[in-house]
């Protein structure tokens, strides 16, 4: 039952939204994601007073840990990874609600988990509310989901509260497997209880894109094919695959980043204004964009894949992909992907969207750049405008979150020389509040039951419609090579040159 505080006015922004008393069950608690992102985010939420007073973190691991060992592990991860100061009183409150269920994905361990959850009502006053976070390899999803179903843990009726599940990406390997996964998840949980995570949607700057576009009439008039020449969306990493070969090899950049983060950034850039800012209205607009995405007729010329070779980054020699630990020496997995897409709507018809992602590129950066058409006529001497490029509006998703506007300006002096200048807004300087991590926002939203920032089942299926033909085209072929520390293979530059354009240097 939901208890409503009559003194709480939802319009009062001083009062944060607090979830009801609940448990978060974390599968794969010992993994990379849990250690580096989820546990620090949970601690930061607790430190910001955003978790309910009755909150339990239940870890599930195959390692035979006691509650004490689990609690120590969580503390270490929180101390190391939290962005807010570590405070004993916050930690003690959080630690009081920690439990560990040890075992493999068999009946016995899940019976104990079900028992542990029902015990929380008496021990912590948590009336059946629980979210299950599947931070485990996708191959383990079916076994866990079936066990949750068998024990009745997914049922709102049986538990007497709400039951939700968080599914990490990748959502399938192609459209067919995504459909099967979705069917399984929807069979176990009610559709409203399923939260598919794309952590890019939890990033402040991505949310701010909607505010920029829909709160400011300034941008609306130019956000279309009349003024925009092209859009470039970049997700670049300077790191290689590190110790994640087992996960990455055979998956590659397109399935790992293009199918989810890059397409979601395209959608946030291209979508129409929703009638209101709720999950249903937003998802409906996002789906329309995905359905309008077109692939070029000559896909072979506009879908480039690459793999990094040894090279230099920040003065260090780094290994090539094929020399990384755990990668087969004949691997054809791409670590770079670039594609050109269209969006067949009245607003965007004719505007190419160039998307690229890669590892071992010169720097870690995510940005969305709108490049505007040149002025139809310049009244200045041609020799005075050689320093003038296309006007650009760049949303920096990370790092240095903010917006840059590039436009021509007069160079001081007696000549009418025009050169590009940049106007920068840094969100870190404009606001006193430090930007929260995406996972803080998303975990909180799961506990609140707010699906606004989570891709729907239909979006996932539609994304695979866009990615599958590219994967089919690439299947069996070898990726082009690029040196670590360069901006991808030369074929990616040729792809834009064919259209008379070039990649922006972020
Ligand atoms: N790492 C990231 O940055 C990242 C980013 C985005 C999405 N994801 C997704 O998040 C999920 C977790 O990622 P991760 O990197 O943390 O994974 P991981 O380190 O490979 O595995 C997480 C945990 O799952 C358990 N596990 C591993 N293999 C298993 C198996 N075959 N059967 C049952 N349990 C197994 C292990 O816990 P125990 O030994 O304690 O049982 C392990 O510590 C994956 O779906 C991944 O695709 C990860």
Question: Whose alpha carbon is nearest atom 46 of ligand 1?
Answer: 137
Strands 228-236 and 402-410: unpaired
Q: Is 102 in the pocket of ligand 1 (CB under 6 A)?
A: no
Domain spans of the chain?
22-168, 201-434+474-498
Question: Whose alpha carbon is nearest atom 10 of ligand 1?
Answer: 135
Instruction: Indicate the top mutation candidate among 136, 146, 196, 255 to test ligand 1's pocket, ranked by most ligand atoms within 8 A of CB.
Output: 136
Q: Could you read off the pLDDT of 163-220 as tens digits, one per residue?
A: 999 999 888 999 999 999 999 999 999 999 999 999 999 998 888 899 999 999 999 8
Q: Is 146 annotated in some ligand binding site?
A: no
Q: How high is the pLDDT of residue 16? A: 73
What's the mean pLDDT in 244-261? 93
What's the mean pLDDT in 393-414? 92
Q: Is 402 in the pocket of ligand 1 (CB under 6 A)?
A: no
Q: How high is the pLDDT of residue 13? A: 57
What's the mean pLDDT in 289-318? 96
Cα separation, 180 vs 170, whole angstroms: 13
Q: For the ranges 2-16, 112-126, 212-226, 427-441, which has the lowest average pLDDT?
A: 2-16
Q: Is 61 in the pocket of ligand 1 (CB under 6 A)?
A: yes
CATH of 22-168, one of 2.60.120.380, 3.30.2130.10, 3.40.50.720, 1.10.10.10: 3.40.50.720
Q: How high is the pLDDT of residue 63? A: 87
Cα separation, 426 vs 444, whole angstroms: 26
What CATH class is the domain 201-434+474-498?
A: alpha beta
Whether residue 9 is predicted with pLDDT greater than 80 in this model: the reply is no
Question: Whose alpha carbon is nearest atom 39 of ligand 1?
Answer: 62
Q: How high is the pLDDT of residue 6? A: 65
Q: What's the Cα-to-Cα distance from 380 to each of 49, 416, 418, 420, rounded to whole Å? A: 58, 7, 9, 15
Q: Could you read off the pLDDT of 423-462 as tens digits, one per residue?
A: 999 988 888 778 889 999 999 999 999 999 999 999 999 9
Q: For the ranges 4-13, 106-115, 134-143, which has the lowest average pLDDT?
A: 4-13
What's the mean pLDDT when you consider all of the chain? 92
Q: Could you read off the pLDDT of 45-83 as tens digits, one per residue?
A: 999 999 999 999 999 998 888 889 999 999 999 999 999
Instruction: Indicate the top mutation candidate among 26, 29, 32 to test ligand 1's pocket, ranked by most ligand atoms within 8 A of CB.
Output: 32
Band of pLDDT at residue 378, cut at 50, 70 and 90:
confident
Q: How high is the pLDDT of residue 451? A: 92
Q: Which residues are catalytic?
A: 261
Q: Name 333's Cβ contacts closer than 8 Å, sequence gap at least 6.
A: 248, 249, 250, 251, 252, 307, 321, 327, 479
Question: Whose alpha carbon is nearest atom 31 of ligand 1?
Answer: 140
172 or 337, higher pLDDT: 337
Q: Is 104 in the pocket of ligand 1 (CB under 6 A)?
A: no
Q: Is 405 left (phi over 0), alpha (psi -120 to 50) or beta?
A: beta
Q: How high is the pLDDT of residue 435? A: 82
Q: How far is the CA of 136 from the centre of ligand 1 (A)?
A: 4
């Amino acid at each position: 039952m939901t208890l409503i505080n009559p003194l709480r006015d939802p319009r009062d922004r001083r009062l944060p939204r607090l979830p009801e008393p609940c448990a978060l069950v974390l599968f794969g608690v010992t993994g990379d994601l849990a250690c580096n992102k989820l546990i620090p985010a949970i601690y930061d939420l607790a430190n910001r007073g955003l978790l309910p007073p009755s909150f339990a973190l239940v870890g599930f691991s195959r390692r035979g840990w006691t509650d004490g060992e689990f609690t120590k592990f969580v503390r270490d991860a929180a101390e190391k990874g939290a962005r807010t100061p570590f405070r004993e009183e916050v930690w003690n409150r959080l630690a009081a609600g920690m439990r560990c269920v040890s075992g493999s994905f068999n009946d016995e361990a899940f019976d104990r988990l079900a028992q542990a959850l029902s015990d929380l009502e008496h021990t912590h006053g948590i009336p059946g509310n629980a979210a299950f976070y599947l931070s485990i390899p996708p191959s383990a999803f079916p076994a866990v989901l079936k066990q949750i179903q068998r024990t009745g843990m997914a049922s709102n009726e049986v538990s007497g509260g709400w039951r939700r599940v968080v599914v990490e990406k990748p959502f399938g390997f192609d459209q067919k497997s995504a459909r099967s996964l979705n069917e399984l998840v929807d069979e176990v949980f009610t559709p409203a209880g399923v939260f598919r995570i794309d952590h890019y949607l939890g990033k402040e700057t991505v949310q701010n894109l909607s505010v920029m576009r829909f709160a400011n009439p300034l941008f609306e008039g130019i956000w279309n094919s009349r003024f925009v020449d092209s859009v470039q969306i970049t997700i670049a990493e300077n790191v290689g695959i590190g110790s994640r070969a087992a996960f990455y090899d055979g998956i590659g950049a397109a399935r790992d980043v293009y199918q989810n983060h890059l397409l979601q950034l395209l959608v946030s850039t291209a979508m129409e204004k929703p009638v209101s800012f709720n999950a249903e209205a937003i998802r409906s607009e996002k789906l329309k964009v995905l359905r309008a995405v077109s692939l070029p007729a000559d896909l072979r010329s506009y879908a480039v894949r690459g793999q990094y070779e040894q090279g230099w980054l920040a003065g260090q020699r780094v290994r090539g992909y094929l020399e990384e630990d755990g990668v087969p020496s004949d691997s054809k997995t791409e670590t770079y992907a670039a594609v050109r897409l269209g969006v067949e709507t009245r607003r965007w018809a004719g505007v190419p969207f160039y998307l690229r992602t890669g590892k071992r590129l010169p720097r870690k950066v995510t940005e969305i750049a709108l490049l505007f058409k040149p002025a139809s006529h310049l009244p200045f001497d041609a020799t005075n405008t050689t320093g003038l490029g296309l006007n650009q509006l760049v949303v920096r998703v990370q790092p240095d979150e903010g917006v840059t506007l590039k436009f021509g300006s007069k160079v001081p002096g007696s000549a009418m020389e025009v050169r590009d200048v940049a106007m920068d807004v840094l969100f870190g300087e404009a606001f006193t509040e430090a930007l929260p991590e995406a996972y803080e926002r998303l975990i909180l939203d799961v506990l609140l039951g707010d699906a606004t920032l989570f891709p729907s089942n239909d979006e996932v299926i539609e994304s695979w419609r866009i990615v599958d033909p590219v994967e089919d085209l690439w299947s069996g072929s070898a990726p082009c090579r690029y040196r670590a520390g360069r901006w991808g293979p030369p074929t990616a530059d040729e792809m834009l040159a064919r259209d008379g354009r070039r990649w922006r240097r972020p």
